[in-house]
A and B are shown apart, each in its own frame.
Chain A
Amino acid sequence: MQPDRHEISISVNGTAYRRSVESRTLLSDFLRHDLLLAGTHVGCEHGVCGACTVLLDGAPIRSCLMLAVQANGHELSTIEGLASDSGELSPVQRAMHEHHGLQCGYCTPGILMTMTAFLKQNPSPSEEKVREALSGNLCRCTGYQHIVDAVMAAAQAMRAAAP
């Protein structure tokens, strides 16, 4: 059986891509191996670990639980697009560095994307709220404490910078 293929158009970090994909191609595989945006990581392929989280039209989703064809016509944001064009880190990226919020760094892209969306919705979160929002992302290295510290600090920095 020849696998069926589909033409899709997707915008990732502001760049438009047109590709032909098999129906069954996971969005995570498409991003990583077709577009070579390998910063999005895959940890479990069953939607638990959160490492593959990207933003679909601004909302966090698990790219391992979605097919590439389903993203046709949508706008995606991935870790490669978080820093500014000049290389300046986003507030969450910077805070993760300042607070040692990463060790092996494998879960980090998913955490950055989840927290970027979370802080947009929740500019003044409590620590409890941050932990709740973070609980869908597994990290095996850090014990989460420094990540929580980083997210709280990023929230504060973003509030201070807000006009």
Chain B
Amino acid sequence: MTTRFFGAPVKRNEDRKLLTGQALFIDDVELPGMLHAAFLRSHAAHARIKRIDVSRALQRPGVVAVYTADDYGAYWQPGPLLVPPPPIPRSIFNLRTQVPLAKDKVRHVGEPLAVVVAESRYIAEDALDDIDVDLEPLPAVIDLEAALRPGSALVHDDLGSNVSAHVHQSKGDYRAAAAKAHLVIKRRFAYEHGIASTIETRGVVAHWEARSQHMTIWDTTQAPVFVRNGLAAVLGLGERQVRVIAPFVGGGFGPKIMMFYPEEVALPWISMRLNRPVKWIEDRLEHFFATTHERGQIHDAEIAVTRDGRILGVKDVFLHDGGAYDPYGLTVPINSQCTLLGPYVVPSYDSTFTAVFTNLPIVTPYRGAGRQHGVFVMERLLDLAAHELNIDPAEIRRRNLIPADAFPYKNGIIYQDFSQLEYDSGNYEPVLDQTLQAIGYAEFKQEQEKLRAQGRHVGIGVACYVEGTGIGPYEGAKVQVQANGKVSVATGIGTQGQGHFTSFAQIAADQLGVDVTDVEIVTGDTDQFYWGAGTFASRGAVVAGNAVNEASRAVRQKALKLASDAFECAEEDLVLADGKISIVGIPEKFLSLGELAKRANPMRGAVKPGTEPGLESTQYFGPPSGATANGVHAMIVEVDPDTFDLKILKYVVVHDCGTVINPLILEGQIHGGVAQGIGNAFYEKLVFDDQGQLLNASLADYLLPTALEVPRMELGHTVTPSPLNPMGIKGAGEAGAIPVGPLFAQAIEDALQLKEKNVELLEIPLSPSRIFDLIKASEP
């Protein structure tokens, strides 16, 4: 195989459709006779449902039907557990999953109570106002610590407490480590992650065709195969009767993999009942509480270090806000627990968390998926230790990095994918070196004195992280050469902008000797590819990418075999390039791949035993465990001492995600991740009052970073291939977003010399007003 496309900054195949307005997104699906749904949502966070009267709504012209939980009958079932808890001894996990429409009780603002179906969305929304609802308010469970005190109101009455989960993992003997430590630092940290806020909200279109007894569902999901399997089961249909299409999806970042959202359950059922297609598109207000969040954790953490700054151990006890239901099991807090360890040698670790039910929207993974929380705690502990020990923050990190000869590195605890947390490969110190070089670390320290003398408040931050990526179970790909010579590649994952139409095409094009533009990728259509899991955990390129490679290689073998039979020569004497197979040295003697595809499907003459018709292969790839990527971010900021507004003067990311398929796409992934990290660190905050009302549910009040807040970034790469897959790939989707919180805290502390004011930044998100408050509070 000659590599012409793999590793090259190939421009994207999918761009043209998107640039000309021709790509099909969910709300572009228009079907004859289509109805429109709107959901009545709870305005209370916690209340008993006394009465829902829909009779007036039904009288409104254009309204076709209105349904409440009672109408669902046996169809009303709580959603499935998506990820069972890992087998960690003595763990507690109380499963309470979301319901399709609230019955008896509402548990968060925005939980749907009823659905109106009408001839237009405008009429459906009018009719929401016609529904008479009587809710008896109950005390809302909002504060994590209060939720666990005796006498607290209960989110799930039958449970007797608000504990969703309780997990303890440890290695080594932390107590002994702390006893012999030169220094133990203990602090409370609060880290809140916000919402993904994709620019396209969610949507579902369901179309039941009674004559063919077939259901087609268009869904903005990251996991179409799981959605098909689950919905077929609850609808009482065979899986072959249900086709789920995830069309072009306008951003995912995690929440679009949650299932089943109440709307996903409602629409197919309505379509079957009314025998008409029906559409629901989430509006932005709904998105703020009907789509899942990531939110807060409170960590009481301590680090034990030697005099020269070497880590002896870390202890952490934390609370995790899980929201009203826990369909995603332990994924987010387990990620926090595991990712805290970072790229460092931590001989002893003692970590306990309690996940708490609250009357707030459901928490599921959002880009980083709890990793940020853990990384924040570890990086801040190291900063505090560095300050106490008078060691440079970059230097204390260097002293603790896992050495290059220690891989594969066993961490001695269990990860979200059920396997032991083991770093497959890595070489961390060069990444740190390259980052410090690129940011100009040493030079800046001198420059800073000069700038301070001029009255300018500039500071620097450096933060490290590792990211578990590319977890199983598996993905597959079907590669087929068509009679026109074009190659079709179908996989089961969905795509939300990651460039799969290009990166997968690069892999197939190299194996099959065709141009990258002659490879057509199909993703997210369960009729095109039946099996798979989905796009999450930075796994698309790793898992589906390797399946594409395996299937392409198998097709290549088939084509060569067929040509060797046709030319009556050995396969070694053939060359596959430019879409054709020729005999070495005789380029005029060739068969095109399209011609070979036709010959592989003969009209006369049997297909020989042991062979199959067509130039086609389906292969699967399942890694034994996740591949670990790593990186370092560094940033120089200038802070306005009066307003505490800040300007990022320089931002550097050096990253190792193994072998790179497409550096252009990789850059885009890192840029986008950092932008979300910046939003998380300094701009985005979900503000709830003590009644569980979200006070800033609009994009005018919940601040996504714009082109003015996100700086130009300078990227660098090192390559340590993963031994866990033949291509050596590691995932890259989430890396950019992970270490930005501690970077901001460190750089702002440095810029404002907050240590001298006894102010420590131990929480995220920060903001100008929050920094003002913290400084004010510290003043005598």
User: Interface of A with B (CB < 8 Å)?
Assistant: 22, 24-25, 32-33, 36-46, 48-49, 51, 78-80, 82-83, 89, 93, 96-98, 100, 102-109, 112, 130-132, 134-148
Q: Find chain B residues with CB under 8 A from A144 CB.
A: 671, 675, 706-707, 710
Q: Find chain A residues with CB under 8 A from B197 CB.
A: 140
Q: Find chain B residues with CB under 8 A from A112 CB.
A: 19
CA distance A138 to B704 in the complex (A): 7
| CB<8 Å pairs between A and B, sample of 30 | A37-B21, A41-B25, A43-B200, A44-B284, A49-B284, A49-B699, A78-B21, A79-B19, A89-B20, A93-B19, A93-B20, A100-B667, A103-B497, A103-B668, A104-B248, A105-B15, A105-B497, A106-B251, A107-B250, A131-B707, A132-B707, A134-B706, A135-B708, A138-B699, A138-B706, A140-B672, A141-B672, A143-B673, A144-B710, A148-B707
A108 touches B707 (CB 8 A): no
B11 touches A104 (CB 8 A): no
A39 touches B671 (CB 8 A): no
Given A49-B699, A140-B251: A96 in contact with B707 (beta carbons within 8 A):
no
Q: Does B498 interact with chain A (Cβ within 8 Å)?
A: yes
Given A48-B699, A106-B250, A145-B710: A83 in contact with B20 (beta carbons within 8 A):
yes
B632 to chain A, nearest CB (A): 18
B699 touches A46 (CB 8 A): yes
Pick the contact of B248: A105, A107, A109 (CB < 8 A): A105
Residue of B nearest to A146 (CB): B668
CA distance A78 to B21 in the complex (A): 9
Residue of A nearest to B17 (CB): A105
Q: Find chain A residues with CB under 8 A from B199 CB.
A: 41, 43, 49, 51, 104, 106-107, 138-140
CA distance A107 to B248 in the complex (A): 13
CA distance A32 to B12 in the complex (A): 26
Q: Find chain B residues with CB under 8 A from A142 CB.
A: 668, 671-672, 675
Q: Does B712 interact with chain A (Cβ within 8 Å)?
A: yes
Given A39-B20, A43-B199, A141-B251: A100 in contact with B664 (beta carbons within 8 A):
yes
B699 touches A140 (CB 8 A): no
Q: Find chain B residues with CB under 8 A from A107 CB.
A: 199, 250
CA distance A147 to B668 in the complex (A): 10
A97 touches B12 (CB 8 A): yes
Q: Does B198 interact with chain A (Cβ within 8 Å)?
A: yes
B498 touches A102 (CB 8 A): no
- The A contact surface, by secondary structure, is loop
Digitize B172-207: 1 where CB-to-A-CB distance is under 8 Å, 0 elsewhere: 000000000000000000000000111111000000
A131 touches B19 (CB 8 A): no
CA distance A143 to B677 in the complex (A): 10
Question: Restricting to B500-538, which residues have a CB under 8 Å from any CB of A?
Answer: none
Q: Find chain A residues with CB under 8 A from B252 CB.
A: 104
Q: Find chain A residues with CB under 8 A from B499 CB.
A: 103
CA distance A89 to B20 in the complex (A): 8
A67 to chain B, nearest CB (A): 12
CA distance A33 to B119 in the complex (A): 13
Q: Does B30 interact with chain A (Cβ within 8 Å)?
A: yes
A135 touches B19 (CB 8 A): no
Q: Find chain A residues with CB under 8 A from B18 CB.
A: 102, 105, 108
Pick the contact of B198: A39, A78, A82, A140 (CB < 8 A): A140
CA distance A130 to B283 in the complex (A): 29
B170 to chain A, nearest CB (A): 38
User: How many interface contacts (CB-CB < 8 Å) are there between A and B?
Assistant: 176
Digitize B657-682: 1 where CB-to-A-CB distance is under 8 Å, 0 elsewhere: 00000001101101111111000000
A43 touches B11 (CB 8 A): no
A24 touches B122 (CB 8 A): yes
CA distance A100 to B251 in the complex (A): 16
A64 to chain B, nearest CB (A): 10
Residue of A nearest to B283 (CB): A45
Residue of A nearest to B673 (CB): A143
CA distance A46 to B283 in the complex (A): 10
Q: Does B149 interact with chain A (Cβ within 8 Å)?
A: no
B22 touches A104 (CB 8 A): no
A52 to chain B, nearest CB (A): 11
B290 to chain A, nearest CB (A): 15
B197 to chain A, nearest CB (A): 6
B27 touches A103 (CB 8 A): no
CA distance A42 to B287 in the complex (A): 13
Assuming A106-B198, A106-B248, what are 6 further A-B pairs, CB within 8 angstroms?
A41-B25, A41-B250, A42-B27, A51-B199, A140-B199, A141-B672
Q: Find chain B residues with CB under 8 A from A146 CB.
A: 667-668, 671
B15 touches A97 (CB 8 A): yes
Residue of B nearest to A132 (CB): B708
Q: Find chain B residues with CB under 8 A from A82 CB.
A: 19-20
User: Interface of B with A (CB < 8 Å)?
Assistant: 11-12, 14-23, 25, 27-28, 30, 122, 196-201, 248-253, 283-284, 496-499, 664-665, 667-668, 670-676, 698-700, 704, 706-708, 710, 712-713, 736
Q: Find chain B residues with CB under 8 A from A136 CB.
A: 706
Q: Find chain B residues with CB under 8 A from A83 CB.
A: 19-20
Q: Find chain A residues with CB under 8 A from B12 CB.
A: 97, 100
Residue of A nearest to B22 (CB): A39
Q: Find chain B residues with CB under 8 A from A42 CB.
A: 27
B707 touches A100 (CB 8 A): no
Pick the contact of A97: B11, B27, B198, B253 (CB < 8 A): B11
B707 touches A102 (CB 8 A): no
B441 to chain A, nearest CB (A): 22
CA distance A82 to B300 in the complex (A): 56
Residue of B nearest to A138 (CB): B704
Q: Find chain A residues with CB under 8 A from B668 CB.
A: 100, 103, 141-143, 146
A117 to chain B, nearest CB (A): 16
Q: Find chain B residues with CB under 8 A from A22 CB.
A: 122
B671 touches A145 (CB 8 A): yes
B21 touches A38 (CB 8 A): yes
CA distance A119 to B493 in the complex (A): 38
Given A24-B122, A131-B707: A104 in contact with B20 (beta carbons within 8 A):
no
Q: Find chain B residues with CB under 8 A from A108 CB.
A: 18-19
Closest CB pairs A-B (n = 9): A39-B21, A106-B250, A104-B497, A105-B18, A143-B671, A103-B497, A143-B675, A79-B21, A48-B699
Q: Find chain A residues with CB under 8 A from B11 CB.
A: 97-98, 100
Most buried by A among B198, B496, B707: B707
B247 to chain A, nearest CB (A): 11
CA distance A108 to B15 in the complex (A): 10
A106 touches B25 (CB 8 A): yes
Q: Find chain B residues with CB under 8 A from A37 CB.
A: 21
Residue of A nearest to B123 (CB): A3
CA distance A32 to B22 in the complex (A): 12
Given A135-B706, A147-B707: A44 in contact with B699 (beta carbons within 8 A):
yes
Residue of B nearest to A38 (CB): B28
CA distance A100 to B11 in the complex (A): 7
CA distance A144 to B17 in the complex (A): 20
Most buried by A among B14, B17, B250: B250
B707 touches A135 (CB 8 A): yes
B366 to chain A, nearest CB (A): 11
B539 to chain A, nearest CB (A): 17
Given A45-B283, A46-B698, A145-B671: A140 in contact with B27 (beta carbons within 8 A):
no
A46 touches B198 (CB 8 A): no
A96 touches B15 (CB 8 A): yes
Q: Find chain A residues with CB under 8 A from B496 CB.
A: 104
Given A104-B200, A104-B496, A106-B250: A140 in contact with B30 (beta carbons within 8 A):
no
CA distance A136 to B706 in the complex (A): 7
Q: Find chain B residues with CB under 8 A from A49 CB.
A: 199, 284, 699
B195 to chain A, nearest CB (A): 11
A105 touches B284 (CB 8 A): no
